[in-house]
Structure 1
């Protein structure tokens, strides 16, 4: 009756019959009938507006009941419809399959169009669903299919069930499908990455359901996202926008995409046997390509064409490298200033000994944090019981291989004089045991600090002539002064000697130190000055 009141009010303010029909959608003849009865009543508009619903219905509507009593066949169908609507939520159940079942039980039943209309009327009567506008490049819905596929081991015949991951871009309905071993976060993250690379870009947000691999704790207002899944989303510049718990309509399109996978991909590979995940996914990709190329119901385009036309250009570009999931481990820095990960040791600066640090690592590298501060980083090395150390940490002890360190001594000797180089090589050959050879050669080189470079080379020449190879032999020659006869003349002195400058060290004391010391001692003896 509200519509009738508004119609009469519009007529009273001067609207035409045609305009009223266009505004309220009854036929023009119906509008004329209402206007004629209003004019015949002789009542004012204000009085009509105050009349009850029953009076208005009696005045303007026909009293005879135009509704017909439903037939027994329709009553029978209406009684079955609520159960049919409930069963539509099951996997693989469609309106068409329910109608076929209805006809088998009631051969004289209604045709598909009437059956479908009755189902739709019941669904709309039970629950009203709001319309959602999907923007291009805005979201990606992800979900797992309820029915699993199988991989059969070629040698043992063991059957292993695998999960089926489904992703869809809701604007274009472009769909991705892949088989994975499990619903764990590692497989979920890899599957999401594969979907992004299949689409050729990343949307603004990814919409998962509340599985633990993506959502640690579900909440209507602010759910807690799994750290690794959130890190993957951040790497691709996406937000994580989980669907509400127990609200499947929040991701209805991916739910429907799963049903479509049952009718297309599952049906195409039914009866085939696969011995590995790669061959199964190859078959899925072939079927998926045909599915995306098929024209959509009620549209002239396919999913792929719609994606290329309206959504592809709005996706964000993907990074040059793929995301690597990082793991985290909390450890205590040991007394030797190392931490251990997978039985391998990594050095840490000495000031962190005894402190708790976090190791964040992936397949290639690891970073060590103390709180929010990055302490150091290393390349990943899984050699059991090995040690990886940075020279910048300046840890005590000798680090590195003896071959490398001995090679550095040879390079230093070569820069000084070939006499010294040849002598050190002969010493190493005589010692045979590499650590002992390194220690001896290092000791010989260290004599430069006390006796100078020229005398060291001369002493090595003297020792070589006498076939005396070792640290003590060179030291005795220097103490006795036997190297003097092997000292080169000024004309024969190499540039290395002429340009040589003695090293400055806090433990090296020159002539001036001892001269001052001798003067002080004399003053003590004469003046009785005691320090």
Structure 2
């Protein structure tokens, strides 16, 4: 409890409000409130030098007057202490207070006035208000303050990793992960990983007012980042940002941030990690040990309280995890494909020349014409120049051309060229989940046989493509075809230094 007398003494010595707060371990708001009360009462340290600390407190912030002298005054210090225990509420303590009053013949306060008097007591003493938490109610999230370090596995360069913390408010069960940056994508991914680790989601999601989560801070109607709002909607939770400069609104995660900085980072400070995965593996082990460690001031551990009381009450996870989508515009080309990251995805041929909306996730490419989804494809990653074509998107004349083609017919045609062409065609046919999507690539290879150089040039080109990769694409074969040069003829056999030998028959004929 803050010593008001010491605040007045330090003030008389000319110490600033910030200096007093740091010296006494209290908030600047408390120091400012004491200054205001002292100025209103016209009290300085000289008038209270001989008084005790409790007397100074009563002089500056007297207890509120009792409405009726016959009412029994509750022991609010006991009430405040008991509220720190699991599942204890003001209603439980008021019922105990009423039962005690009836046993002694005293008249108790009404419940509403009991709550009001407790809040006044909290304000007058500078105590922290106990925020009641219910199992499964909320998940508090934040970034830890100081980054950790790992070595790039390719270059050996040291890189920073930013630490994300999520903690369930009731059990304080925590999830911690290091990420390469503090961008929106990392923020969203960390939430998804935390929810999957918990096996569910709290009814409320309590972040700080950081830009990746909250676009505009406001006490009453904060504006959420659209992607963050979609995340909350996907998991059936509601985002309630903490008030600006009110860390007690998310006291559990603030405490978790401290133990991450003080325990996890400290324990791992002398270890060197190669790659982010190795760093996170060590973090997960340390946090698992902290979650299993018994509480110091309450029974059980974070893990036990979570498994027993909180996990059964979490909102179940949806069947599909949330993915952050990238929204773009793309125009359907004359070949009824849209280009996305140097790869091509088909749309209905009727949309040729139109500007369409493209929604990208890590695994899919979805194309929209207004509100109608007209195409959905698996997304190519790490490759370029690939085509994903659905037969239903083709014009009728193109679709009819492919009806008579089968993988066996393509292989039969390739066998007339040579074994390397057969191997290339088989690789192209196997490169698509839907084999029909590879037919146009095979037809492209077939068309090369009709160009100058013909069969021999195509077989040699396929041989070179297979030497470069076991799974060549039409794009690679076409590129090698364009740069093809015929092999130089072998040199004529040399007779060395032997010269011309006429032989015995030559000389015998002249005999």
Question: Which position in structure 1 is the counterpart of 2:390?
Answer: 390
For the pair 1:316 / 2:315, whether they are aligned, the reply is yes
1:405 is paired with a residue of what secondary structure? coil
Question: Which position in structure 2 is the counterpart of 1:266?
Answer: 265
1:263 is paired with a residue of what secondary structure? helix
- Where do residues 78-117 of structure 1 align in structure 2 (5 Å cutoff)? 83=19, 85-86=21-22
Question: Which whole-Å CA distance do the structure 2 matches of 1:346 and 1:193 have between them?
Answer: 28
Question: Which whole-Å CA distance do the structure 2 matches of 1:437 and 1:129 have between them?
Answer: 75
Contact 1:402 1:435 in 2 (8 A): no
Contact 1:176 1:198 in 2 (8 A): yes
Question: Kindly tell me: are residues 379 and 266 of structure 1, through their superposed partners in 2, closer, same or farther at Cα, counting changes over 3 Å?
Answer: closer
Kindly provide the CA deviation profile for residues 193-222 of structure 1, in whole angstroms up to 9, marking residues without a partner as x.
222222222111221122222223333333
Contact 1:337 1:395 in 2 (8 A): no
Question: Which position in structure 1 is the counterpart of 2:199?
Answer: 200
Question: Which whole-Å CA distance do the structure 2 matches of 1:350 and 1:389 have between them?
Answer: 11
2:228 is paired with a residue of what secondary structure? helix
For the pair 1:218 / 2:193, whether they are aligned, the reply is no
Contact 2:294 2:300 in 1 (8 A): yes
Question: Kindly tell me: are residues 126 and 345 of structure 1, through their superposed partners in 2, closer, same or farther at Cα, counting changes over 3 Å?
Answer: farther
Contact 1:177 1:285 in 2 (8 A): yes
Kindly provide the CA deviation profile for residues 236-266 of structure 1, in whole angstroms up to 9, marking residues without a partner as x.
2222222233333322321222112222212
Question: Which whole-Å CA distance do the structure 2 matches of 1:266 and 1:318 have between them?
Answer: 30
Q: Per-residue deviation at 1:408? A: 7.8
Question: Kindly tell me: are residues 275 and 221 of structure 1, through their superposed partners in 2, closer, same or farther at Cα, counting changes over 3 Å?
Answer: same
Question: Kindly tell me: are residues 268 and 408 of structure 1, through their superposed partners in 2, closer, same or farther at Cα, counting changes over 3 Å?
Answer: closer
With 317-326 and 292-301 compared, the bigger mean Cα shift is at 317-326
Question: Which whole-Å CA distance do the structure 2 matches of 1:436 and 1:352 have between them?
Answer: 24
Q: Per-residue deviation at 1:401? A: 10
Question: Which whole-Å CA distance do the structure 1 matches of 2:230 and 2:294 have between them?
Answer: 37
- Where do residues 329-368 of structure 1 align in structure 2 (5 Å cutoff)? 329-368=328-367
Question: Kindly tell me: are residues 395 and 387 of structure 1, through their superposed partners in 2, closer, same or farther at Cα, counting changes over 3 Å?
Answer: farther
Q: Per-residue deviation at 1:314? A: 0.5
For the pair 1:376 / 2:375, whether they are aligned, the reply is yes
Kindly provide the CA deviation profile for residues 471-514 of structure 1, in whole angstroms up to 9, marking residues without a partner as x.
xxxxxxxxxxxxxxxxxxxxxxxxxxxxxxxxxxxxxxxxxxxx
CA RMSD of the aligned region, Å?
4.4
2:405 is paired with a residue of what secondary structure? helix
Q: Per-residue deviation at 1:358? A: 0.8
Question: Which whole-Å CA distance do the structure 2 matches of 1:368 and 1:438 have between them?
Answer: 31
Kindly provide the CA deviation profile for residues 119-160 of structure 1, in whole angstroms up to 9, marking residues without a partner as x.
xx9996696654321121111000011111111346755321
Question: Which whole-Å CA distance do the structure 2 matches of 1:161 and 1:301 have between them?
Answer: 35
- Where do residues 62-81 of structure 1 align in structure 2 (5 Å cutoff)? 75=9
Kindly provide the CA deviation profile for residues 281-340 of structure 1, in whole angstroms up to 9, marking residues without a partner as x.
222222222322233232122222222232121112224443333222112223333211
Question: Which whole-Å CA distance do the structure 2 matches of 1:78 and 1:201 have between them?
Answer: 55
1:330 is paired with a residue of what secondary structure? strand
- Where do residues 37-436 of structure 1 align in structure 2 (5 Å cutoff)? 75=9, 83=19, 85-86=21-22, 129-153=128-152, 157-382=156-381, 383-395=383-395, 398=398, 405=405
Question: Which whole-Å CA distance do the structure 1 matches of 2:202 and 2:269 have between them?
Answer: 33
Contact 1:431 1:437 in 2 (8 A): no
TM-score (norm 1): 0.53
Contact 1:406 1:438 in 2 (8 A): no
Question: Which whole-Å CA distance do the structure 2 matches of 1:74 and 1:437 have between them?
Answer: 90
1:264 is paired with a residue of what secondary structure? helix
Question: Which whole-Å CA distance do the structure 2 matches of 1:209 and 1:257 have between them?
Answer: 14
Contact 2:10 2:20 in 1 (8 A): no
Contact 1:345 1:386 in 2 (8 A): yes
Question: Kindly tell me: are residues 213 and 325 of structure 1, through their superposed partners in 2, closer, same or farther at Cα, counting changes over 3 Å?
Answer: same
Larger radius of gyration: 1
Name stretches of at least 5 consecutive residues in structure 1 with no aligned partner: 1-69, 91-113, 412-424, 440-531
Question: Which whole-Å CA distance do the structure 2 matches of 1:189 and 1:72 have between them?
Answer: 47
Contact 2:7 2:20 in 1 (8 A): no
Kindly provide the CA deviation profile for residues 3-62 of structure 1, in whole angstroms up to 9, marking residues without a partner as x.
xxxxxxxxxxxxxxxxxxxxxxxxxxxxxxxxxxxxxxxxxxxxxxxxxxxxxxxxxxxx
Question: Which position in structure 1 is the counterpart of 2:499?
Answer: none
1:216 is paired with a residue of what secondary structure? strand
Question: Which whole-Å CA distance do the structure 1 matches of 2:385 and 2:348 have between them?
Answer: 20
Q: How many residues align?
A: 331
Kindly provide the CA deviation profile for residues 430-474 of structure 1, in whole angstroms up to 9, marking residues without a partner as x.
9999979999xxxxxxxxxxxxxxxxxxxxxxxxxxxxxxxxxxx
